[in-house]
Structure 1
């Protein structure tokens, strides 16, 4: 009787083999994940400063001030997101001022987050229109940007913005995360840059024409350094 009880409690060989196979698969998965751990950084800014690279004169527009823009709140999250942040207001003496924000994140963890306007403007009490992806003609070509309007009582701010993540130009938040994941699988840690240009005007189409012209002048004026802003 005792021998029968002992036999019934002995491990079943098939179960042992199954555990061994599962353990091997887990170990292989862990090894693969480690081998694919991002290690090579993509950082087009390098040791340079955005403050020095973003020109203070852009076509007929000249630097006026660095205040007055809608920016992320000064909390621990926004402090962690940006390696560098430049805010500028430009004037040409005739039209409504142009507001420029450029934010760069080094992406040292490989997980990049950028405060897009659809997050920081509502935090300031603005209501947003639908966000429409549109081509923005620049330097004889075009880049895909997002266009929207942010409103407060008595204020309509027309906005265009785009992001560069490594060598990608994602338009949506989902595309942005996918771009990071794709680079991570290649062992790359991409940096990310958000460029936002806005102006106050109730006429969205007229404002967009000026925003497009300002963006093109900005990229032309930056020369080779424009690779920091566009892929």
Structure 2
């Protein structure tokens, strides 16, 4: 065997070893990436079961309709954005009717996230006031929330809402995306819940008191499993 042939054989051996080491390193990296891949921690809630959890009457409030509620705009992702979407209109003696929208999805990631009302209303032709921070209270818990006024021809609607993603209550879209990213980095795909309540024919200060009291009564009267979706719980607490 010539010196050149020996050199070629040695080079091929070194190349094979390098390829083997690279292959082992890539396989190890893939394994680590797989084990750290975020996992969906919350079960899908069947639509009929979710609807059954929403009370039709509580306190002095009773369901009168499911129409008149501004809905998220339809798009190609609608069926994936919301596992559950329930709308109701409630009435009580001597009080303005309150419109309710509940939207829930068991998995919020970087692509699929619950639409915030500031996105839905302008699509429907509304002009929005500045969004203000408020706090809703239920079951002894203070929930960060928002309120704004939506104005369209022949309609002025006061809108309050909160969004829960995992253990976070983001008030802004940027906070919502950050909450999802943090959960993903921790190895979780959080669930997402939005409760939106609104009323017509009153000013924002009056609406804040009305919608805050309505929200408290609704949450405290709701099925305990719906309460856990609204106020947050680990997946073990959601017994389907």
Fold similarity call, TM over 0.5? yes
Residues 52-71 of structure 1 mapped to structure 2, 5 A cutoff: 52-71=52-71
Match of 1:228 in 2: 229
**Quick check: 1:110–1:189 contact (8 Å CA) kept in 2?**
no
Structure 2 distance, partners of 1:143, 1:101, is 17
CA contact (8 A) 2:58 2:221 kept: yes
Give the direction of change, closer, same or farther, for the CA distance of 1:124–1:40 in structure 2 (3 Å limit): closer
CA distance in structure 2 between the aligned counterparts of 1:33 and 1:172, rounded to whole angstroms: 30
**Which residue matches 1:140?**
140
In the other structure, the counterpart of 1:98 is 98
Residues 160, 108 of structure 1: alpha-carbon distance in 2 compared, 3 angstrom cutoff: closer
Distance of 1:143 and 1:158 partners within structure 2: 18
Instruction: Show the counterpart of 2:128.
Output: 128
Structure 2 residue aligned with 1:18: none
- Kindly report which structure 2 residues correspond to 1:102-113, keeping only aligned pairs within 5 A, or say none: 102-107=102-107, 111-113=111-113
Q: TM-score of the superposition, structure 1-length normalised?
A: 0.82
**Structure 2 CA distance for aligned equivalents of residues 89 and 79 of structure 1:** 23
Deviation at 1:184, TM superposition (A): 1.7
Distance 1:196 1:103 in 2: 9
Question: For the Cα contact (< 8 Å) 1:55–1:222, is it kept in 2?
Answer: yes
How much has 1:77 moved relative to structure 2?
2.2
Q: Report the Cα offset of residue 78 of structure 1.
A: 1.9
Q: How many equivalent pairs are there?
A: 223
- Deviation sequence 1:154-209 (CA, Å, 0-9, x none): 32111111111122222211221222222222222221111100011341111110
- Are 1:67 and 1:88, in contact at CA under 8 Å, matched by a contact in 2? yes
| Residue of structure 2 in register with 1:75 after alignment | 75
Q: Please, what TM-score do these two structures have when normalized by structure 2?
A: 0.79
> Deviations 1:107-145 (Å, cap 9, x if unpaired)?
176743111111110011000011112112323331100
Gaps of 5+ in 1: 1-20
For structure 1, which segment, 208-217 or 78-87, has the greater mean C-alpha deviation from structure 2 after superposition?
Answer: 78-87
